[in-house]
Amino acid sequence: MNRVYFDNAATTPIRDEVAQVVFEVMKNNFGNPSSSHSYGRSSKVLIEHSRKLIAQSLNVSAGEIVFTSGGTEADNLVLNSAVRDLGVTKIITSKIEHHAVLHTVEALKKDYNINVAYVNVNGAGDIDLNHLSVLLDTNETSLVSLMHVNNEIGNILDVKKVADLCTLHKAYFHTDAVQAIGHYKLDLQDIKIDFLAASAHKFHGPKGVGFTFVRKNSGLRALIIGGEQERGLRAGTENIHNIVGMEKALSMAYENLTSEANYVRDLKQYFIDQISAEIPGVSFNGQSSNLEQSTYTMVNVGLPIPAEKAGMLLFQLDLKGIACSKGSACQSGSTQTSHVLYELSHTEALNKPSLRFSFSIYNTKEEVDYVIGVLKTFISKP
């Protein structure tokens, strides 16, 4: 049986070079980095070297990078501290954010009675920047939380424009950049983002590690309390091997960005062309078929399948060795309609089963042909 992994937006396979680095550090650099002896010092050196290189990739200072367990913790750290410590009384977000943001904002509204405003999203899944400007026109201390690349439909937010709007209105700007870091270069000296979340396993790094960019002198304080690790912003013994692995993965992603992005972009275009030709009636959700307006790593398609067959679609694909998803991996097993697709307000889209196919450098056109052949056969069966 063929095995095809088209769920790279959920997680990516780790690069061989990264796995080797993780293993070597785990085996040879086991000292606690908070210890003063040579074992601890050697571990500390590795962490700080990784921090420096990650900071350089974003054009920021090393002290502005805080290591976390991943994107969800990074989002929680920023949003909770913004309300608790920075005096934020209004959070502006959208209803198509990842649940790491949406559920956290809902909890903050309940616990702190903050004002939560949702910026309008059009039928293509784009953020209405004019409406955002209206929402920012307030005397309240505000924080805007909008993701750079949507994790279900792939729409790309112009974070420079949002950052400029926030600067104009003296608001904080936080972006969940989990689907963007490692795939797009960001210069945070040019783009005045205050807080950013990233996760290593989205760019061929290890799971269980990520980072937060926290702009200098922001006043952000710790979510996890204990020791003084991460300059007091994140207590707990550092995940040394995974931090070093994350830096290796990010460095490789950016070193090979042009060639690898072109390869994956061509693969996505081939998928769009082939599925459009082979399956009449297929549709594309959000901007996912537009390679200028959406990320090159994913496409979200609506398939012309009756409701009575739709429930078996993912199961049948899995039987054929094909991995893809209905949406965010964090919602796996849910029978509810994707909250992202629901907000697009397309009745047609909601009535069709939609699947997210996401690609990486380890995929091929032959795999695309196989997947579309399986879909075509499934759809044609009575």
Residues 316-341: pLDDT tens digits?
999 999 999 986 545 444 456 789 99
* Cβ contact 375:275 at 8 Å: yes
Asked whether residue 157 carries a pLDDT value surpassing 80, the answer given is: yes
CB-based contacts of 98: which residues, under 8 Å, 6+ apart? 71, 75, 147, 151, 176, 178, 328, 330
Of 330, 334, 345, 362, catalytic: 330
- The predicted model gives 12-25 an average pLDDT of 98
3-state secondary structure of 5: strand
- The predicted model gives 165-170 an average pLDDT of 98
- For the chain, give every domain's residue range: 4-12+257-380, 16-255
Q: Which amino acid is at 96?
A: I
pLDDT tens-digit map of 195-217: 999 999 999 999 999 999 999 99
- The predicted model gives 304-317 an average pLDDT of 87
Query: Which residues are bridge partners to 115 per DSSP?
Result: 90
pLDDT tens-digit map of 74-109: 999 999 999 999 999 999 999 999 999 999 999 999
CATH of region 16-255: 3.40.640.10
pTM listed for this prediction: 0.95
- The predicted model gives 47-71 an average pLDDT of 98
Q: How confident is the model at residue 57 (pLDDT cuts 50, 70, 90)?
A: very high
- The predicted model gives 51-58 an average pLDDT of 98
Structure tokens at 67: 């290591």
Q: What was the pLDDT predicted at 333?
A: 45
- The predicted model gives 140-168 an average pLDDT of 98
Q: How confident is the model at residue 226 (pLDDT cuts 50, 70, 90)?
A: very high
Alpha helices in 91-238 (DSSP H): 99-112, 129-136, 159-168
Alpha carbon 17 to its chain's center: 23
Structure tokens at 309: 């067959």
pLDDT tens-digit map of 276-290: 999 999 999 999 999
Exposed (0-12), middle (13-18) or buried (19+): which is 343, by Cβ within 10 Å? Answer: middle
Compute the distance between CA of residue 166 and CA of residue 114 in angstroms, rounded to an integer. Answer: 19
Would you call 330 a catalytic residue per the annotation?
yes
Alpha carbon 348 to its chain's center: 27
Asked whether residue 255 carries a pLDDT value surpassing 80, the answer given is: yes
pLDDT tens-digit map of 293-303: 999 999 999 99
Q: Which amino acid is at 18?
A: V
Q: How confident is the model at residue 309 (pLDDT cuts 50, 70, 90)?
A: confident
Alpha helices in 29-153 (DSSP H): 38-58, 71-85, 99-112, 129-136
* Cβ contact 210:249 at 8 Å: no
* Cβ contact 150:125 at 8 Å: yes
- The H or E element containing residue 309 is helix 307-310
Compute the distance between CA of residue 355 and CA of residue 300 in angstroms, rounded to an integer. Answer: 6
Q: What was the pLDDT predicted at 346?
A: 58
Q: CA of 72: how far to CAs of 140, 189, 228, 297, 330, in Å?
A: 26, 24, 21, 21, 11
Domain 4-12+257-380 class? alpha beta
φ, ψ of residue 34 in degrees (nearest 5): -90, -5
